[in-house]
Amino acid sequence: MKWTLSSGILDFGTRAQIMGILNVTPDSFYDRYGSVNAAVARGLEMVQEGADILDVGGESSRPPMYGEAVEVSCEEECLRVLPVIEKLREQTAVPISIDTVKAEVARRALEAGADIINDISAMADDGMAEVAAKSEAPLILMHRRGTPATMQDNTDYVDLIGEVCSFLEERIERARQAGVAQWGVDPGLGFSKTIEGNFLLLKHMQRFANLDCPLLVGASRKSFIWKTLGETAEEALEGSLALAVLSRAAGAHILRVHDVQASCRALRVADAVLQAEVES
């Protein structure tokens, strides 16, 4: 399983791909960078730590428990992310993804040097599929209900696993019909899910790995981890690493993380176990 990117080939066949989170926002729930230079410096540091992809986002999707995320205009989002993408592309060949729900932001980010679209709304903007189709950029489709402001009011399911799978399958088909050539899926941990629902998704992550496309899992430092530990987001590293390893064992191809170096080390050992064979 591979993606063909403008910057090269991303091969999911041998090991987990680490996606480093780079929030160019004033209000993300964890690790945010308010200046271009600070964001670029952190991005390059993540590359040194082993990141395979840098995920640049300019609009927070934090849930209301952190205070309502402020919706930003297309122009404001572009002002935040485009200079960072341009400077990173000048200094590294590592693939860059744009974390946005706006088709116009995605289009301009791809022109600035991004390779991948990470759309947590799964094409709520009708123009997103066209941008992905025309650019041939991979499009990551995530499950959620509503918006960041309303998503935690929509956590009741009759069949959580089946409903999330059906949603992702429907969005894959919609993307395919629109001419999108490459895609991935994300079951949306922390989005429109209860604490118990998040753990149920993780327990059955293999279902999503069987959708015949790259599977992204983003659990890093989310509240269902630190609430379970009785800690804070700052104290949720060990829980985040545990879920990254379990997700990889269940078939995840991309792990979206804040703590790149620690995650790379944990997943390198996990991959060694998964690839071990009986000696003849």
| pLDDT, tens digit, 9 for 90 and up, residues 240-253 | 999 999 999 999 99
Averaged pLDDT of the chain: 91
Can you give the pLDDT at residue 148? 63
Q: Is 203 a catalytic residue?
A: no
Go through 13-49 and write b for each residue having 16 or more CB atoms within 10 A of its CB, e for each that does not. Answer: eebbbbbbbbbbbebbbbbbbeebeebbebbbebbeb
**DSSP structure string for 6-54:** TTEEEE-SSSPEEEEEEE-SSS-SS-B--SHHHHHHHHHHHHHHT-SEE
CB atoms within 10 A of CB 90: 9
Which amino acid is located at 236 in the chain?
A
Q: What letter would DSSP give residue 189?
A: T
- The residue-averaged pLDDT of 227-245 equals 93
Q: Is 256 a catalytic residue?
A: yes
Q: Nearest to residue 143, comparing CAs of 170, 121, 116?
A: 121
Which amino acid is located at 160 in the chain?
L
CB of 119 within 8 A of CB of 141?
Answer: yes
pTM of the model: 0.92
Q: Nearest to residue 55, comparing CAs of 106, 124, 9?
A: 106
Can you give the pLDDT at residue 143? 97
Q: Is 33 left (phi over 0), alpha (psi -120 to 50) or beta?
A: beta
| pLDDT, tens digit, 9 for 90 and up, residues 96-113 | 999 999 999 999 999 999
CB of 96 within 8 A of CB of 113?
Answer: yes
Number of Cα atoms under 13 Å in the Cβ half of residue 196: 4
Task: Name the catalytic one among 42, 256, 265, 268.
Answer: 256
Task: Name the catalytic one among 42, 144, 221, 222.
Answer: 222
58, pLDDT greater than 70 = yes
CB atoms within 10 A of CB 126: 9
Q: What letter would DSSP give residue 227?
A: H
Can you give the pLDDT at residue 150? 58
Question: Please, what are the domains in the chain?
Answer: 15-273 (3.20.20.20)
